[in-house]
Amino acid sequence: MGTDILQFKIETEREEDGRWIAEVIGLPGVLAYCTTQEDAIAQVQALGLRVLADRIEHGEAHPALVTGLTPDDL
């Protein structure tokens, strides 16, 4: 039995003030600012999952369409 895990493409960048910003590519507006890169990634992953769940629940999109993954990737 295989295990498929939904993975987001995440970009991170350190701001001039030292904070880290993480953004899920393919989900506009899904970003998080945190004091560490690890926290930013964790926060943006959680937010991305909530956004996807909400869109799927409301029939707005299939996860593959939102994330750019194919159904085989899920």
When pLDDT is cut at 50, 70 and 90, the band that residue 32 belongs to is very high
Number of folded domains in the chain? 1
pLDDT at position 52, please? 86
pLDDT at position 61, please? 67
- Residue 22's beta-bridge partner residues? 12, 32
Only one residue has tokens 């750019």, namely 68
Only one residue has tokens 């769940």, namely 53
Asked if pLDDT for residue 4 goes beyond 60, the answer is no
In the sheet with 20-24, reading across from the earlier edge strand, the strands are: 10-14, 20-24, 31-34
Asked if pLDDT for residue 56 goes beyond 60, the answer is yes
Mean pLDDT across 14-41: 96
When pLDDT is cut at 50, 70 and 90, the band that residue 17 belongs to is very high
Domain holding 36, by residue range, is: 10-73
Give a yes or no: residue 63 inside a domain: yes
Give a yes or no: residue 28 inside a domain: yes
